[in-house]
Amino acid sequence: MRGAPGLGGIHPSQADYFQSVKGGGHGDYRLIVLAPSSVQELIDHTILAFELAETYRTPVVVFGDAMMGQMMEPVLMPEAELPPPNRPWATTGMEGREPNIVHTLYLPADKLEAHCNRLFAKYREIEQKEKRSIKKKWDCRIKRSA
Amino acid sequence: MGLQNKTVGVGSVGCGVFSYEYFNFDGVGPSHGRAPAVATGVKRVLPDRLVFTYQGDGDLAAIGTTEMVHSAVRGENITIIFINNTLYGMTGGQMAPTTLMGQVTTTTPTGRGRQQGFPFRVCEMLATAEGAAYIARVALYNPVQVNRAKKAIRRAFETQMAGLGFSLVEVLSACPTNWGLTPLEALKFVEEKMVPVYPLGEFKVPEEVKS
Query: What is the Cα–Cα distance from B49 to B66, expressed in whole angstroms?
Result: 24
Count Cβ atoms within 10 A of the Cβ of residue A50 and give its class: 0-12 exposed, 13-18 middle, 19 or more buried.
middle
Asked if A104 reaches chain B (Cβ–Cβ under 8 Å), the answer is: yes
Contact B126, B60 (CB under 8 A): no
How far is C-alpha B104 from the chain's CA centre? 22
Helix, strand and coil percent figures for chain B, each rounded to 5: 40, 20, 40
pTM of the model: 0.89
What is the residue-level pLDDT of chain A in tens, covering all 146 positions?
777 777 777 777 777 777 788 766 788 888 999 999 899 999 999 999 999 999 999 999 998 877 888 889 999 998 867 777 889 999 999 999 999 999 989 999 999 999 999 999 999 999 999 988 765 555 555 544 44
Domain presence at residue A139: no
> How many domains are there within chain A?
1
Tens digits of per-residue pLDDT, B87-108? 999 999 999 999 999 999 999 9
Question: What are B29-84's pLDDT values in tens digits?
Answer: 999 999 999 999 999 999 999 999 999 999 999 999 999 999 999 999 999 999 99
Q: So what's the ipTM on this one?
A: 0.86
Q: What is the pLDDT of residues B162-210, one digit of tens each?
A: 999 999 999 999 999 999 999 999 999 999 999 999 999 999 999 999 8
B204 three-class SS: strand
- 3-class SS string, B149-168: HHHHHHHHHHHHHCCCCEEE
User: Where does residue A25 fall: left (phi above 0), alpha (psi -120 to 50 degrees), or beta otherwise?
Assistant: left
Q: Is the Cβ of B52 closer than 8 Å to some Cβ of chain A?
A: no
Which of A91, A94, A99 is facing B42, going by the closest CB pair?
A91
Q: Looking at the domain assignment, is residue A64 inside a domain?
A: yes
Q: Which CATH number fits domain B4-209: 3.90.230.10, 1.10.1740.10, 1.10.10.1200, 3.40.50.970?
A: 3.40.50.970
In a domain, A30, yes or no: yes
Q: Which of A42-56, B111-125, B147-161, B176-190 is the least confident region?
A: A42-56
Q: How far apart are CA B90 and CA B194, in angstroms?
A: 20
Quick check: A100 and B26 CB within 8 A?
A: yes
Kindly report the average pLDDT of chain B as a whole number. Answer: 96
- A7 CB near a chain B CB, below 8 Å? no
Question: Which is it for the CA torsion A67, A72, A78, A80, positive or negative?
Answer: positive
CA distance to partner chain A, nearest, from residue B111 (Å)? 33
**Containing domain of residue A64, as a range?**
18-130
Task: Give pLDDT, residue B80.
Answer: 98
Distance CA B40, CA B114 (A): 36
Question: Is the separation of the CB atoms in A78 and A51 below 8 Å?
Answer: no
Question: Which chain B residue shows the shortest CA-CA distance from A93?
Answer: B6
B161 touches chain A (CB under 8 A): no
Residue A51 maps to a domain: yes
Q: What are the sequence ranges of the domains in chain B?
A: 4-209
